[in-house]
Amino acid sequence: MGGIFGVASKKDCSLDLFFGVDYHSHLGTRRGGIAIYNYEGKFQRSIHNIQNSPFRTKFEKDIDDMHGNMGIGCISDFEPQPLLVHSRLGNFAITTVGIVTNKDELINEILATGNTHFLEMSGGEINQTELIIALINQKESILEGIKNVQAKIKGSISMLVLTKEGIYAARDKLGRTPIQIGKKEDAYCASFENFAYVNLGYNDYHELGPAEIVLMTADGITTLQQPQKEMKICTFLWIYYGYPTASYEGVNVEAMRYNCGKYLAKRDKDSVHPDAIAGVPDSGTAHAVGYANESGIPFTRPFIKYTPTWPRSFMPTSQEQRNLIAHMKLIPVQPLIKGKKILLIDDSIVRGTQLRETTDFLYQSGAKEVHIRPACPPLVFGCKYLNFSRSKSEMDLITRRVIRDFEGDNVSNEVLAKYCDPDSPEYAKMVEEIRKQLNFTSLRFHRLDDMLDSTGLDHCKLCTYCWNGKE
């Protein structure tokens, strides 16, 4: 995934930038970077690998030597950022979040127009942000260049562009990812997560709408392109990726997750009678609290995540390594497991491997029954709009493997639609097969309509592609 943060201040911005970027560490595990426009009128930049050491540790010495009134930074799961640019539009720094799904097409188009080149990263990939720079430089100003990016790319890109005049903040065309502006005396900031600036003394000031572009300085915010009405913000931000204290479109993440659990409990009614409700730590905890509050069944923590020395479970490239680390982090609380019927909630089921191991882990610890309630519907389509996963194929999804077993290869969208319909026999058949393969006592996925209702937003404003394939 990734997160971005920028500051424009009448004072030195370096500490605000440092902590603001650090507060986005839950959104990425590979690289961090900061760029500052310093008091000498020059751009400074630092980028580090953060796979085995946290952002703060890697950047605390760098920030001592980086001072200025404006800066941007990022946490990235993929390409190194921010990039420094010397171009016909002047010098600037840029950081982005999102994915360009027509990258190869655009690269070939740009190469065909004249004498230009792209630098390759190790592995032969071209830095996506470098492509964004090339698209910006096709126009006569940075503003028109950002509009060009919004018009040409498929996928989604939100960005911060640091210039000597100020910081351009641009939300992607359909608002799939957020950019929020905070304000305090003598400073403004732009942030992916609004909670990131609260402890720095900023208050919520403005949330950019879809395709909105603003110029941020220490003196204020100037709107350069008005937001469009159509929005497709990623619903998975609330389900999993967003930090509990964050809010998007006025809806808090933790509160939405409580609502998810509440709706799950209402659907279950008296169909199951567990002794306790639990969440897979930490991704299912808030959903489980919501279920317990609605059902009146006690919330417990039958296992605890040991985190002091273990990195995030999806950090290694190998899925086998990620599964091992996820398993090693969970420590059982035997008295809360032995002889108990446990209803367990997680944010989602992707491959199913980790949840199967967690379930086996509970049985081995003496659990009598393990009922699973994912906090979102079955994932049937790979995301085309955000860098959410390192999956190479939709066949990594357990749903698609089960559907292939039932229907063969090359399944049509019409057939897939039946497996996305919670009231269809095909859906019921798929869920039962997943239950058997993963060894659950029972399995009930969150319904799409209930999940969307949990946000309190108009359904048309929410992206649901990964669950129903609808653009």
Is residue 326 over pLDDT 80? no
| Residue 123: predicted pLDDT | 64
Give which of 434, 373, 372, 382 is closest to 403, Cα–Cα.
Answer: 434
* CATH 3.40.50.2020 is held by the domain 254-468: yes
What does the pLDDT read at residue 258?
A: 98
* Phi/psi at 201 (5° precision): 95, 5
Cα 70 to Cα 201: distance, rounded to the nearest angstrom: 17
pLDDT, average across residues 387-407: 84
Average confidence (pLDDT) over 349-370:
92
* pLDDT tens digits along 244-263: 999 999 999 999 999 999 99
Minimum mean pLDDT range among 285-294, 373-382, 388-397: 388-397
DSSP symbols for 413-436: HHHHHHHH-TTSHHHHHHHHHHHH
For 115-149, the pLDDT digits (tens) are 677 876 666 678 899 999 999 999 999 999 999 99
Q: Could you read off the pLDDT of 26-55 as tens digits, one per residue?
A: 998 789 999 999 999 999 999 998 887 888
Confidence of residue 390 (pLDDT cuts 50, 70, 90): very low
Q: Domain map of the chain by residue range?
A: 2-231, 254-468
Residues with Cβ < 8 Å from 229, sequence gap 6 or more? 210
CA torsion sign, 21 to 22 to 23 to 29?
positive
Residue 314 has pLDDT above 50, yes or no: no
User: 């029972």: which residue's tokens?
Assistant: 442
Encoded tokens for 275? 């002794």
What distance in Å separates the CA atoms of residue 119 and residue 117, rounded to the nearest whole number?
7
Instruction: Identify which of 208, 207, 186, 182 has the alpha carbon closest to the alpha carbon of residue 197.
Output: 182
Other CB atoms within a 10 A radius of the CB of residue 294 amount to: 18
Per-residue pLDDT, 112: 87
Q: Which amino acid is at 406?
A: F
- Radius of gyration over every alpha carbon of the chain, rounded to an integer in angstroms: 23
Residue owning tokens 């900031």: 189
- Phi, psi values for residue 166, rounded to 5°: 160, -170
Rounded to an integer, what distance in angstroms lies between the CA atom of residue 343 and that of residue 359? 11
Neighbouring C-beta atoms of residue 405, cutoff 10 Å? 11
Phi, psi of 81 (to 5 degrees): -150, 165
Give every CB contact of residue 218 below 8 A, 6+ residues apart in sequence. 8, 9, 10, 69, 70, 186, 187, 188
Q: Give φ, ψ of 95 to 5 degrees.
A: -135, 145
Share of the chain above pLDDT 90, in %: 79
> In the predicted model, is pLDDT for residue 269 greater than 60?
yes
Distance CA 145, CA 140 (A): 7
Host H or E run for residue 469: none
**pTM of the complete model:** 0.92
pLDDT band at 320 (very low <50, low <70, confident <90, very high): low
Q: pLDDT tens digits for 75-99?
A: 988 788 999 999 999 999 999 999 9
Count of Cβ atoms closer than 10 Å to residue 189 Cβ = 28
> Does residue 255 come out as left (phi exceeding 0), alpha (psi in the -120 to 50 range) or beta?
alpha
What is the second-level CATH architecture of the domain 2-231? 4-Layer Sandwich (3.60)
The dihedral built from the CA positions of residue 49, 234, 259 and 363, taken in this order, carries a sign that is: negative
Report the chain's mean pLDDT, rounded to a whole number: 92
Q: How far apart are CA 380 and CA 201, in angstroms?
A: 42
Start-end of H helices in 97-205:
103-112, 128-136, 142-152
